[in-house]
Chain A
Amino acid sequence: MKKWIISVAGLIVGISLLYVPDTAEAGKKRTFEEDIKQDWAQKVCSNPESKVPPELLDKFLEEQKKLIKYPKSGNIYGDWKRGEKLFSNPKKGNCYACHCGDPKELACGNLGPNLKGYGKKKKDPEYTYRKIYNSWAYVPCSVMYRAGVHGRLTPEEIADIVAYLHSPESPINK
């Protein structure tokens, strides 16, 4: 009950609270001009249809796949309990901004599919890992940000979230 109240308090403030500024990067003052510089993929996606032109599609997917890196240990299936925290933390995964998942979490967005029962769908955990690391390697220009590419989540943190989505113990799959 207590936890519920706290999570509820968070959502009152709404989105501004979901996107708390990075503390890791504090210290160095960035400018608007620097921050709106785009990488090649972002440029390609910046059109009203948010689509990659067909003639660039192969190159786009290939480049995005190349950006995916794995944990040093090689293990892409981490600790689901840590993954649970990362999934909901607005400063880390912030996945509830767009996905529902654990039915207890009511403050969830609907831009992305509901991930409840995701682990029962027999998806390959390696796909899940790669999708979270670089969502654009599968769905070019998706609204889902490229968490690994931008260093928002480390490979190890992504592995923890993979466990959270796949483990039969996880509230996602209960």
Chain B
Amino acid sequence: MVIRYALIALLTSGMLGVSFGEEIKDPAEEVKKQKKLLLEVMGVLPGDLIAEEGKEYFHKKGPNGKSCASCHGKDGKGEKMPLVGAYATMPKYYKDIDKVADLDLRIKSCMEKYLGYDPKKISGKAGRKIIVPLATYVASLSNGMKFNVKLDHPKEKEMFEKGKELWYARVGKMDFSCAMCHDKYGGYRIRLQTLAKPKESKVMRYWPAYRYSKDKMWTMEDRIRGCYKQIKVTKPPFYHWAHVALQMYMAVNSNGGVVEVPGFVR
């Protein structure tokens, strides 16, 4: 609790700094500064705490008495179906669910299919409370490894094509596309917000990420929903194919990038 207050005070003062500074600050420098400040005050980064929380869930029994570790091994290092390195190859086609899945959908599927969770109970916010930390933890098991997503299965190719289509699609009342903000005008400012270049930065390698401006851990599904909201397009529900498609497109563009999760972003 005390930590939380300190954090909020810190974030607020940091942000006031941004707004009153007449000069436009270098966004990369600002992120570094915030990270350093948080480390100084808390001694640990919030994202690492959330990964720890995910690790606890990973070893905790679900409704049917099994845990993730029952199948994937302690710390995800089982002889069968280890999860070390798994994130660096996702999204991917899975035979057991006959779907291409991203991290969020894969974890939710395992919870329903193999841990006995009631799908209705975890489809909403309650589910996100477990799935986000689990995703953070599972992704961190690929730290130091290179992103290497392949398009071997026809459904993977199809997902990639759909993702590419969505990336370039001009939609909604603002006539925007992901590409307009993140390719063509990447590096420009919308108001004071510098637009990221997710393809260039091999973005999948540092997501899920802790957003210090919101004091929240986000998976890429949260990020995609946030971007659609900005352009006044109704957000795709969590676990929707659009998330998988867009991540497939971004993941292929992230190939070669070294995984470093949890990320730390504005």
Q: How far is the CA of A45 from the CA of B170 in the complex (A)?
A: 7
- The answer to whether A107 and B175 touch across the interface, beta carbons within 8 angstroms, is no
Stretch at the interface among A6-14, A77-85, A122-130, A163-171: A6-14
Cα of A21 to Cα of B18 in the assembled complex, Å:
25
Tier of interface size on chain B: 35 or more
* Given A48-B183, A109-B188, also A31-B169 (CB < 8 A): no
User: Which size bracket describes the interface of A in this complex?
Assistant: 35 or more
A38 at the interface (CB under 8 A from B): yes
CB neighbours of A75 from chain B (8 A): none
Known: A48-B168, A48-B179. A8 touches B19 (CB 8 A): yes
Given A22-B232, A32-B237, A35-B234: A14 touches B193 (CB 8 Å cut-off): yes
B191 at the interface (CB under 8 A from A): yes
* Smallest Cβ-Cβ distance to B169: which chain A residue: A46
A31 touches B191 (CB 8 A): no
Q: Is the CB of B190 within 8 A of A107?
A: no
At the interface, yes or no: B201 with Cβ under 8 Å from chain A? no
Judging by beta carbons under 8 Å apart, are A35 and B172 in contact? yes
Q: Which chain B residues in 224-256 approach chain A with CB under 8 Å?
A: 226, 228-237, 240, 242
State A146–B191 Cα separation when bound (angstroms): 19
**Which of B16, B174, B185 lies at the interface centre, i.e. has the most chain A CB atoms within 10 A of its CB?**
B174
Interface hits, B185-203 → A, CB 8 Å: 185, 188-193
Contacts of B165 in A (CB 8 A): 46
Interface residues of A in 151-172 (CB under 8 A from B): 151-152
CA distance A20 to B215 in the complex (A): 20
Residue of B nearest to A45 (CB): B170
Q: How far is the CB of A94 from chain B (nearest CB, A)?
A: 9
Query: Residue B176 at the A interface, CB < 8 A?
Result: yes
Chain B residue numbers with a CB within 8 Å of A22 are 232
How far, in angstroms, from A22 to B229 measured CA to CA in the complex?
Answer: 11
Residue of A nearest to B266 (CB): A14
- Complex contact B184–A50 (CB within 8 A): yes
Residues of A within 8 A of B (CB): 8-9, 11-12, 14-16, 18-19, 21-22, 30-32, 34-38, 42-43, 45-48, 50, 96-98, 106-111, 136, 141, 143, 145-146, 150-152
Q: Which 4 A-B pairs have the closest CB atoms?
A: A150-B173, A42-B170, A32-B236, A35-B233
- Report which B residues bind A (CB closer than 8 A): 15-16, 18-20, 22, 165-166, 168-177, 179-180, 183-185, 188-193, 213, 226, 228-237, 240, 242
22 A-B pairs with C-beta separation under 8 A? A8-B19, A11-B19, A11-B192, A15-B230, A19-B230, A19-B232, A32-B237, A36-B169, A42-B169, A42-B170, A42-B171, A42-B175, A46-B168, A46-B170, A50-B180, A96-B191, A110-B188, A143-B176, A145-B173, A145-B174, A150-B175, A152-B173
